[in-house]
Structure 1
């Protein structure tokens, strides 16, 4: 599961802090996969594989598969631009996250303190930013909108987990070791830890159980996932393209200018 350090936002500590509105996704380059909620499936399934993983409590949850190697998101190019059609919702609001308190299960707005996108206002010269708190110590309008978004996301996350629990109880998940090719380097890659819907088990369900899944809206959830698994090949092609770009860049770096031009060449003398 994607994890990161989180620090709770408070007016006493972050009253003068701002959120830098980044125009690139360099920060997302390290995410090989990223959590999704069910409301995203319809768009996400057309852009990248939607698979499942186990969290720390062994509960299955959906993720967007964004790469085939650790710390390598194929959807972020060297300039930090996102090259896909859909961006996972919570990546768009990085470095913020919602956490729940252990004592009373309340939602707390947090941020990744390792990010360079949240800082004191006095250090944000020349940057486009939004204040976290207003002059009265209340969340700014932008942050209130962000909190509302996370409230909706948290609700949908609970619905999504409930759907995954139903599918688990029906024994519809199967482990899926991805076997792909790094064609640029000519080596196979095996990625473990992912799950998918067992299509044979799904087809064997009694009609009343299929109808129940349909009535709960889970059948659409399933089909979006199954459609998306065909995009594994797209990731292989993206990895091959990335490998060839890196090899070409390395060749340029390895050029010895003295050998290329010759130490005694008069061509570059003025």
Structure 2
């Protein structure tokens, strides 16, 4: 469970932070919202879907086929494909929003990466300003937040144009077939029948690129399915291993005098 707090000198000046050494903290994240600047790279490695978020629409990486499941992170914390969504790359930092809807640099105090002493980096320098490393993280997160807003605007335009439709994905589980809800895709036919004026506006605004990136990314769904199958097989093997009862072992003491005459009687 996370504990997101705004970074402040009063609360964090005496503390230190450590960099993550694996992506295990993403293991229960099935959907990762994206920023406009990363859509092209993400589409080559991950299936992307349109999702409703905070009253609007955005494009997100689909990381799992069940709630609380990320199939792209291995048990040792390694990421198994070539692209990691930017939302994960500044952990344990993130952007929050104050009451005036202004971005704030925040920290996850439950990350296990905040320490009181010992190894780690300081949040603030001797003058009380953000340290150089934290300034770098803050700049990255603020630019990412701006890019997320750009993408949300593009997705809103696609939605308003009627070219986004539900994406029916059905998976087979232990209890039969199950349809994944909440994911949407581009209706390519509707996109191609937009009039020239609307298509031209979308092309100039970069919106068409978002649409085609989502269509391209759908080919990665097969990889996600393979990862799901491999995960299910590994978990089944572990369960079977746990259910195997140990064989009755004879005592190692070879001095015991067995009475063979009574065997079988």
User: Is the structural similarity TM-score above 0.5?
Assistant: yes
Q: 5 Å matches for 1:1-270?
A: 5-57=3-55, 59-103=56-100, 105-120=101-116, 122=117, 125=118, 127=119, 129-182=120-173, 185=174, 187-257=176-246, 259=247, 262-264=248-250, 266=252
2: distance between equivalents of 1:254 and 1:83?
30
4+ runs of 1 displaced by more than 3 Å?
A: 265-269
What are the ranges of 5 or more consecutive residues in structure 1 without an aligned counterpart?
Answer: none
* 1:265 shift after superposition: 5.6
* 1:249 shift after superposition: 2.2
1: distance between equivalents of 2:92 and 2:216?
30
* 1:80 shift after superposition: 1.2
1: distance between equivalents of 2:2 and 2:49?
21
Secondary structure of residue in 1 paired with 2:168: strand
CA contact (8 A) 2:48 2:218 kept: yes
Judged with a 3 Å threshold, the aligned counterparts in structure 2 of structure 1 residues 136 and 268 are, in CA distance, closer, same or farther, namely farther
Secondary structure of residue in 1 paired with 2:121: strand
2: distance between equivalents of 1:147 and 1:90?
13
Judged with a 3 Å threshold, the aligned counterparts in structure 2 of structure 1 residues 186 and 265 are, in CA distance, closer, same or farther, namely farther
1: distance between equivalents of 2:253 and 2:183?
58
* 1:6 shift after superposition: 2.2
Judged with a 3 Å threshold, the aligned counterparts in structure 2 of structure 1 residues 267 and 229 are, in CA distance, closer, same or farther, namely farther
2: distance between equivalents of 1:232 and 1:45?
11
* 1:114 shift after superposition: 2.4
Secondary structure of residue in 2 paired with 1:193: coil
Judged with a 3 Å threshold, the aligned counterparts in structure 2 of structure 1 residues 79 and 146 are, in CA distance, closer, same or farther, namely same
2: distance between equivalents of 1:196 and 1:141?
41
TM-score normalised per structure 1: 0.87
1: distance between equivalents of 2:253 and 2:44?
54
Secondary structure of residue in 2 paired with 1:155: helix
TM-score normalised per structure 2: 0.89
Aligned pairs, number: 255
Q: Deviations over 1:49-93 (max 9, x none)?
A: 111111232x01111100111111001111111111100012111
* 1:119 shift after superposition: 2.9
Secondary structure of residue in 2 paired with 1:99: strand
1: distance between equivalents of 2:212 and 2:254?
63
| Structure number with bigger Rg | 2
Q: Deviations over 1:2-45 (max 9, x none)?
A: x9642111001100222211211111001011110121111111
- The CA RMSD measured in Å over matched residues stands at 2.2
2: distance between equivalents of 1:221 and 1:268?
75
